[in-house]
Amino acid sequence: MGKKRKNGENGKKKRSEWVYFRTEGEVSSIEIVHNKNDNSITVVTPTEFIYTEASYDRKKGPKALNRVPGYGPSSVFDPDEAVSHFTQLVAIDTNTKEINGVKVSVTGVVIAAGVIDEDSDRALAYLAPFCIKFSASEFPPEKIGWADGLSELYRRNLVSTKNPVGLIVDSFMDDLISINNRIISIIDNFYLPRNVSMIYASSDAGKEYIPNKLIALADRVATETLDYVASGKLPMSQTELMKKQIFLQKQDAGTKKLLDLILTKIQ
């Protein structure tokens, strides 16, 4: 079930927003409850998964812009509302290029949380605390970046171990349901932490949505750092984490409060 979003302006293709789910096995009937107060959908019939997806039509089939897992048996049509039940959002993106004959990867990490700013308005505070540089191995660099990025965030106590965290990525979309259900690991024996759910978002389209804005920022941070490595300013042998600039966004305007606002959301 879905609805059209009124945002076909500025040359953008009209977006559609959907709620998808799959029942547990074959059923003879499906019970769905629509809550008009928050426009949420709750599937009473047991489900394997439920998620929100924004997309647009194209000749070779719909282009998924983002895919946000639901909370329990429920979800909403608007992806920005769907991510609001997470205490924190983490965007991790990895870029790879050959430098002096060596494949080098850099993972950009961005963390974000909803806050109330000095004007008592809802805001989204976000920062890029570090990047990780490594050489590609037998595993896909993107998945190495997910595992290493999460591990370092937990080591630094930058994400909650109890409250719900949404991990935004822009690859392996078809694997994410199985990773979220802990059917498969990210790499080796590294499974997704129990309080984390993976969110797909395109880094090159759909930037009117929060998940897409954040993954695009992680992509930019990774690209800038990789270019810095290629310039020779960072020795190829250096593998330590690199601190990056702190950012803050109040919807689409700027505010001045930053790190203390987001860190209060962690516990």
- Answer yes or no: do 8 and 59 share one domain: yes
User: What pLDDT is recorded for position 55?
Assistant: 93
Spatial separation of the C-alpha atoms in residues 218 and 131, rounded to whole Å: 9
Q: pLDDT tier at 125 (50, 70, 90 boundaries)? A: confident
Residue 2 has pLDDT above 60, yes or no: no
User: What pLDDT is recorded for position 255?
Assistant: 33
- Answer yes or no: do 235 and 125 share one domain: yes
User: Of 83, 116, 142, which marks where a domain is finished?
Assistant: 83
User: Of 49, 83, 117, which marks where a domain is finished?
Assistant: 83
Spatial separation of the C-alpha atoms in residues 161 and 146, rounded to whole Å: 16
H-type alpha helices, 9-109: 79-82
- Answer yes or no: do 11 and 143 share one domain: no
Q: What are the E-state strand segments in 57-144?
A: 63-69, 74-76, 88-99, 102-116, 122-127, 131-135
pTM of the model: 0.84
Q: Are 203 and 212 in contact (CB under 8 A)?
A: yes
Q: Mean pLDDT throughout 198-222?
A: 93
Q: Mean pLDDT throughout 135-155?
A: 89
User: Of 28, 60, 83, which marks where a domain is finished?
Assistant: 83
Spatial separation of the C-alpha atoms in residues 265 and 257, rounded to whole Å: 14
For residue 17, the enclosing domain spans: 1-83
Residue 128 DSSP SS3: coil
Q: How many structural domains is the chain composed of?
A: 2
User: What pLDDT is recorded for position 169?
Assistant: 98
Q: pLDDT tier at 83 (50, 70, 90 boundaries)? A: very high
User: What pLDDT is recorded for position 147?
Assistant: 94
User: What pLDDT is recorded for position 126?
Assistant: 84
- Answer yes or no: do 184 and 74 share one domain: no
Q: What is the pLDDT of residues 219-257, one digit of tens each?
A: 998 998 888 888 876 655 544 444 433 333 333 333 334
